[in-house]
Structure 1
Amino acid sequence: MPPGDTAQDKPAETCVLALSGGVGGAKLALGLDRILPAGALHVLVNTGDDFQHLGLHISPDIDTLLYTLSDRANPEQGWGLAGETWQVMAALEALGGETWFQLGDSDLATHLWRSSQLLAGVDLISVTRELASRMGVHSHVHPMSAQPVRTTVHCAEGDLPFQHYFVRRRCQPRVHGFSFAGLDQAQANPDVMALLAGKELSHIVVCPSNPYVSIDPILKLPGMWQALRDHPAPVILVSPIIQGAAIKGPAAKMMAELQVPVTAAGVARHYADNYPGLVDYFLLDHADATLAQEVEAVGLRPHTARTLMHDIYDKTQLAKTCLALESP
């Protein structure tokens, strides 16, 4: 716990919903987890990145959240497990198997357990809840849906499944757009929808995640963004772009290729145009304070803070900043 944070500092009766993709969003989710009472944080996680690989169901963003919140994540790369070994991948390569998506030996145990549970008929929501419990995670980690939604990247090489674009092709092809197979048939996580139908939530935080492939799949689920908009809790969105660069991942590259200004203001316009009335506060880094007028011009309420997170102190301070904002 950072200096100055004690259990007595934590709000007594606060319930917070955070929306997150993978590594970038998990940083703020960890800050929220550390300052809130156990069980007070609910994280709604993108599953558009999920895919089948080597016969296993892989949920990259969910696992990043689980590993981060359980203090097991690799601190250098932000994903995967600390102290990981790679003997299975080495043996698979020797057999001529596909190793473009690297799965560590301990990480494989997570995928094997999840896949066996899904094969037995347990849904992804219940499986994720049990995984969180077994890993000692006290916050609630919610897949965005129990039904499969799969992100396709439309790019210069044709239509690529997200992980083939992101990992196999290392985000190199020029992007034209995105689509989400199964979205119309999917149902938003019922536990989260029940939460949004009640009055327990004090804040809704959109963590700094890629707007196109991490947050859009969540918001585009039937009824989701409207339920978030209509809840009385303030919706605070933290920009994933600082001074024209992404905090993590290919968001800046995607924006440039989509001919969107690679700025926090460009992100603000995306949300204002696609989800009118959703965002109450748009958090800009102090370095982008000059963009506040542009953000305000698209109808969002700008608020500047230190949003670049290097360590746990930065993460908890940003979390505190978000929770200090009240309904306008």
Structure 2
Amino acid sequence: MCERIPKVVLLAGGVGGARMARGLATVLPAGSLSVIVNVGDDEHFHGLKVCPDLDTVVYTLSGLVQAQRGWGVAGDTTHALDMLRKLKAPDTWMHLGDGDIGLHLFRSECLARGESLTSITNRITSALGTPATIIPASDGDAPTLVDTDQGLMRFQQWFVQERARPAVRAIRYETVGTRVTSSAALALSGADLVVIAPSNPLLSIYPMLALPGFRDALLGSSARCVGVSPLIGGRAVKGPLAEMLTDLKLGTGNRAIATLYRDLLDALVIDKSDDADFPALMDAGLPHIELAATHICDRDKANELARAVLKAGQLNPLGFTEELA
């Protein structure tokens, strides 16, 4: 007999995804968790490759994150950005701290030498002591474009510079010339459980699903798939999801989330305050609904939610006992 640790794959983007990752990394055995991270909001600023979702997950898991904001490096300064503003450089609306810029310099230099984003991310997580495997969904550029009532914008322009104010008419996922990484596909194929974080489905999860090969790898996995709704009482804890659902006429509340993920999920975790949604979600064809506290406001709440997710996924976090051949 031998003990085998469970293999859990989290699909994540943004602050909610990073905090979900931290909870899972805490309650699972070491070596269990892989996090596949959205790259649709990656951008170049000041000649540097910036990967906001990857970096937020890395900083959070490594204990470096500015906890109150949920992104950036704790205690970081902005001397470089201040100088760029004095020089009237473009795009200084994107907040980049000095420590953050150091990481972007390292990544950009490695990319210029021909190293893949996956390989570079492995080097970063090893150096920072990140307690999980972090995998970019794609090694190539796959930008998310937002078609608004003020024209077509790249994601960071719409979300940060314009503060997500322009109404959204459509979202485009540009995936020509890229595909899911082999590391991401391998993680999905070997997973015992796939978790969809309480990230914005349209801006963090769908950009990954749109990558050639990604949805097939997910659907081809024998793992159960559990999603965590990013909505509580029909509103997002953080970000413009509720407004986007209305703008795009995709419905409201947890029913809209269930519809977006209907071909993927074996279970959906919703906030316990939304228990009135239970019958409608069951009528929508979801095989299992789990009620939990889904607002990840601190480490204890992250751990509590992680345990609820594992319960919904019917997974014992302590591992499996297998017969040796």
User: TM-score, normalised to structure 2's length?
Assistant: 0.92
The structure 1 residue matched to 2:79, chosen from 78, 81, 87, is 87
Given that 1:232 and 1:327 are in contact with CA atoms closer than 8 Å, whether structure 2 keeps it comes out as: no
Task: Look up the match of 2:125.
Answer: 132
User: Of the candidates 162, 165, 172, which is equivalent to residue 165 of structure 2?
Assistant: 172
> Do the aligned residues in 2 keep the contact of 1:269 with 1:295 (CA within 8 Å)?
no
Q: Supply the RMSD in Å over aligned alpha carbons.
A: 1.5
Matched, 1:26 2:18: yes
Q: Does 1:231 align with 2:221?
A: yes
How far off its partner does 1:111 sit? Answer: 0.4
- Please give the TM-score of this superposition, normalised by the length of structure 1: 0.91
Secondary structure at 1:310's aligned position in 2? coil
Partner of 1:105: 98
Q: Which moved more, 1:33-42 or 1:169-178?
A: 33-42
- Residue in structure 2 matching 1:262, options 242, 249, 252: 252
- The reply on whether 1:241 has 2:238 as its aligned counterpart is no
Any idea what SS the aligned residue of 1:268 has? helix
**Which amino acid counterpart does residue 270 of structure 1 have in structure 2?**
L
Matched, 1:280 2:266: yes
SS at 2:71 equivalent: coil
* Structure 2 gaps, min length 5: 316-325
Paired position in structure 1 for 2:35: 43
Q: Distance in 2 between matches of 1:115 and 1:39?
A: 28
Cα-to-partner distance string for 1:218-267 (whole Å, 9 max, x where unaligned)? 11222322322232221000000110110221111211211233311111
For 1:45-64, what aligned pairs fall within 5 Å after superposition?
45-64=37-56
Asked if structure 1 preserves the Cα contact closer than 8 Å seen for 2:290 and 2:308, the reply is: no
Number of residue-to-residue matches in the alignment? 311
After the TM superposition, which of the residue ranges 29-38 and 290-299 deviates more from structure 2?
290-299
Distance in 1 of aligned mates of 2:154 and 2:188: 31
| 1:184 positional shift | 3.8
Of 299, 305, 308 in structure 1, the residue corresponding to residue 295 of structure 2 is 308
With CA pairs under 8 Å and 6+ residues apart, which has the higher RCO, 1 or 2?
A: 2
Show the counterpart of 2:323.
Answer: none
Query: Equivalents in 2 of 1:122, 1:18: separation in Å?
Result: 25
Residue of structure 2 equivalent to 1:149: 142
Verify the 8 A CA contact 1:233 1:327 in the aligned structure 2. no
State the partner residue of 2:319. Answer: none
Does structure 2 conserve the Cα–Cα contact (< 8 Å) formed by 1:280 and 1:327? Answer: no
Give the Cα–Cα distance (whole angstroms) in 2 for the partners of residues 326 and 103 of structure 1. Answer: 38
Query: Structure 1 residue 326: deviation in Å?
Result: 4.1
Inter-partner Cα distance in structure 1 for 2:193 and 2:212: 22
